[in-house]
Amino acid sequence: MTRIDFYILPDTTLEARLIFACRLAETIHGKGYRLHLHCADRSMAEQLDNMLWTFRPDAYLPHAVLESDMAGSVPVTLGWAALSTPTEPTALLNLHPEIPEGVNDYARVAEIINQHQEVLLTKRACWQRYKQLGHEVVPHQLKS
């Protein structure tokens, strides 16, 4: 079964959640995983695409939106449509409110919860669903 890591942030803003997603993406990539960031929609993917260039002045995370020509040549992709089956060990950072079909095809899955009411509600439901499906769910309570 796929291991699911839930990162629980004390922040309430959606921007704080996306900034943490950038930092987490950098960490996951640094561990040698290919990574797909599954966004809620095109707008979130575009916002994250921009943030991945600017979240830290000294950071460089080679990434591309799945629709671009570069998507096949970079280790980090962003998308919002249905997941494709990965061809090698790949991690998924799920920023979509729901659990996507195909999550079992990924070596690791990360979810980010913050204290924004809508995120809390949708991610609590995801947590319960992962448990029902028999996944190992590991919480990481982060401090402010």
Q: What is the pLDDT of residue 87?
A: 75
32 backbone φψ class: left, alpha, beta (φ>0; ψ -120 to 50): left
Q: What is the pLDDT of residue 41?
A: 96
pLDDT tens for the chain, 144 residues: list them: 889 999 999 999 999 999 999 999 999 999 999 999 999 999 999 999 999 998 888 888 999 998 889 888 899 999 999 888 887 779 999 999 999 999 999 999 999 999 999 999 999 999 999 999 999 999 999 987
Q: Residue 7's closest CA among 20, 26, 22, 16? A: 20
The answer to whether 28 and 92 have CB atoms below 8 angstroms apart is: no
Instruction: Give the CA-trace dihedral at 37, 110, 114, 27, to 10 degrees.
Output: -80
Q: What is the pLDDT of residue 1?
A: 80
Q: What is the pLDDT of residue 29?
A: 94
- Domains of the chain (ranges plus CATH)? 3-141 (3.40.50.10110)
